[in-house]
């Protein structure tokens, strides 16, 4: 077989090879140790010496050409095979995915964390305080006169067996006395958690709810600082368009006292929502802990937590927070 024939034949057969294995066989047949090209090389010795370089070159060229043919065809075959495999693996991407269960944070916890993070950013240090509280901290240390009608708004649960000494705190403000017993101003402290009132449960009342309380005492702290702090909080929590409204209100532990509401525009109307109570720390409280009320002043405020997600997500009923119904929880 001469070189041209061999090349011709190789071209035909390589391009006809349909699978890699066929190509491997061809590779061996043409280029292997016992292959056609090797056989041709062996005939080189029989050629005239002056022809040998030319013939040798021609055989080398042919070998390279065959190698190239096979490589090209191999690439073609591999990509074809891969394409077929990929095609065979085609999925219906519209089929439903495997069910996945995700961990989710309860909307109340999400709100508590957010509130805490904002006040922490405003320089308040958060403390843990007990739910099962001594009555003296819940009321006495907060300038409540003995058995005062102001307590009527704070119907309380009492612990059995203590003769009225321990109660479930009705307000996180109960932490003030605990602080004043062991810390001296200046300080900027906060606490957040559950409070309890003896109230029948309905859409807007619960026997258990959450509050955040902030308590700052230092030199020169005033009502404007209180408002500024609340305004900063409200803007971070609810957005720039929301403003704090103060209105005179009464709590035994502050003077002057204020009710905090927020107002915002919605569908051309001004809407209001009460968030809690605030004021300057009553000087009687500071003095009862031997703090000079002429030198030091402070502010305190307590905000209800539940109203925040209620307004944010348009939740109409407080009870949904406590029912832990997945149909509710999975919305957040």
The 8 Å CB, 24+ separation contacts for 146-151 are: 148/252, 150/250, 150/251, 150/252
Distance between CA atoms of 55 and 107, rounded to whole angstroms?
A: 86
Neighbours of 250 (CB within 10 A): 13
Distance between CA atoms of 148 and 262, rounded to whole angstroms?
A: 29
126 binds other proteins (CB under 8 A): yes
Using the 8-state DSSP alphabet, how is residue 96 labeled?
P
119 binds other proteins (CB under 8 A): yes
- Structure-token pair, residue 273: 């929502």
Radius of gyration (Cα) for the chain, nearest Å?
A: 42
Among 246, 263, 288, 289, binds other proteins (CB under 8 A): 246
Binding mask 131-170 for other proteins (x = CB under 8 A): xx------------xxxxxx-xx---xxxxx----x-x--
121 binds other proteins (CB under 8 A): yes
Q: Given the rule CB under 8 A, which of 52-60, 78-86, 107-115, 309-317 is the region that contacts other proteins?
A: 107-115
Among residue numbers 28 through 67, which ones bind other proteins (CB under 8 A)? none
Judged by beta carbon, residue 250 or residue 313, the one nearer other proteins is: 250
The minimum distance between CB 327 and other proteins, in angstroms, equals 7
130 binds other proteins (CB under 8 A): yes
Element at 258 (helix H, strand E): strand 254-266
Judged by beta carbon, residue 125 or residue 265, the one nearer other proteins is: 125
Q: Which of 190, 155, 187 is nearest to 172 (CA)?
A: 190
Among residue numbers 162 through 221, which ones bind other proteins (CB under 8 A)? 166, 168, 186-188, 194, 196, 198, 200, 207-208, 216, 218-221
The minimum distance between CB 153 and other proteins, in angstroms, equals 8
């Amino acid at each position: 077989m001469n070189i041209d024939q061999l090349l011709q034949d190789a071209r035909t057969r390589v391009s006809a090879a349909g699978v890699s294995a066929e190509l491997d066989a061809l590779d061996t047949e043409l280029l292997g140790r016992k292959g056609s090209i090797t056989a041709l090389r062996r005939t080189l010795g029989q050629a005239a010496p002056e022809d040998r370089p030319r013939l040798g070159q021609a055989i080398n060229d042919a070998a390279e050409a065959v190698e190239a043919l096979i490589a090209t065809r191999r690439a073609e075959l591999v990509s074809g095979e891969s394409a077929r495999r990929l095609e065979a693996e085609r999925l219906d991407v519209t089929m439903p995915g495997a069910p996945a269960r995700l961990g989710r944070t309860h909307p109340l916890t999400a709100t508590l964390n957010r509130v805490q993070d904002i006040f922490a950013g405003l320089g308040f240090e958060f403390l843990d305080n007990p739910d099962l509280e001594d009555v003296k901290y819940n009321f006495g240390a907060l300038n409540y006169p003995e058995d005062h009608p102001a307590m009527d708004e704070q119907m309380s649960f009492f612990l059995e067996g203590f003769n009225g000494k321990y109660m479930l705190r009705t307000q996180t403000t109960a932490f003030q006395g605990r602080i004043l017993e062991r810390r001296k101003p200046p300080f900027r402290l906060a606490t957040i958690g559950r409070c309890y009132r003896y109230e029948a449960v309905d859409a807007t009342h619960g026997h258990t709810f959450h509050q955040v309380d902030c308590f700052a005492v230092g030199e020169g702290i005033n009502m404007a600082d209180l408002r500024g702090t609340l305004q900063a909080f409200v803007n971070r929590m609810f957005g720039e368009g929301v403003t704090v409204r103060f209105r005179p209100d009464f709590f035994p532990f502050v003077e002057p006292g204020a009710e905090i509401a927020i107002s915002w525009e919605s569908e051309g109307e001004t809407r209001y929502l009460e968030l809690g109570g605030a004021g300057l720390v009553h000087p009687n409280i500071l003095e009862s802990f031997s703090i000079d009320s002429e030198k030091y002043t402070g502010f305190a405020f307590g905000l209800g937590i539940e109203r925040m997600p209620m307004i944010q997500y348009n939740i109409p009923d407080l009870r949904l927070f406590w029912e832990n119904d997945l149909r509710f929880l999975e919305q957040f």
